[in-house]
A and B are shown apart, each in its own frame.
Chain A
């Protein structure tokens, strides 16, 4: 066997609930297909691996032009937007978040923490970005167990040589 193992690396930079899933879904599919997976968490993306934040990611309807009334359970309202003034109301973000989490649950999609643990068990390598860690004043202990280390951008470049890199 001279065939090289395909490698995929994700850079997760967002801390919104909806932006956390792409890397998880694709990364999990990659592992299932025998592809090496590395995930680098930077900026708000670090919320995905922070013990205190991981299970509290949210999705906000405010200024979210793609989120329509139909997603709030109103049938046929595919093009009726959620007025920003409504999105501003207290509880709206929590409400949208709950709807999304419930939907995920019915589809059998695990929550962020469980998903990441599954990926670590499947061999995915998780790293936190040094600059972001310094900026947010975090420590290795603030992250969940699967996180291997805090590394620099240069380290990331070294460890992802030959990998396909996906920025989210």
Chain B
């Protein structure tokens, strides 16, 4: 398993750069990965989504799908694509330290 140093912390990642141990995740790591994904600053709206994903991910062990996020976190699809442009499904999971979402919707 590969490791990567993100925000001065060494974490385990898979070949696509997704963290494999969600317990290693910190808010600083999230901010760092967000920058890597083209999001300069995480706002309160971003955190609302990330926190929902963290909660879901820690209970189910899986990253929620986009539709689970929009229906669960009270964010619209439009907002999701505006907050995490160009691939919100992947980006949110990436930033939240979870694997890629496994569902199709």
Contact = CB atoms under 8 A, between A and B. Distances in A.
A121 B77 contact: yes
A32 B86 contact: no
A110 B105 contact: yes
Contacts of A25: 104-105
Interface residues of B, number: 21
A136 to B, nearest CB: 30
A32 B90 contact: yes
A129 B69 CA distance: 34
A146 to B, nearest CB: 12
Nearest to B67: A108
Tell me the interface secondary structure of chain B in the complex.
helix
Interface string A18-29: 000000010011
A33 B90 contact: yes
Interface in B35-82: 65-68, 70, 76-78, 80-81
A32 B89 contact: yes
A109 interface: yes
A5 interface: yes
B22 interface: no
A110 B104 CA distance: 12
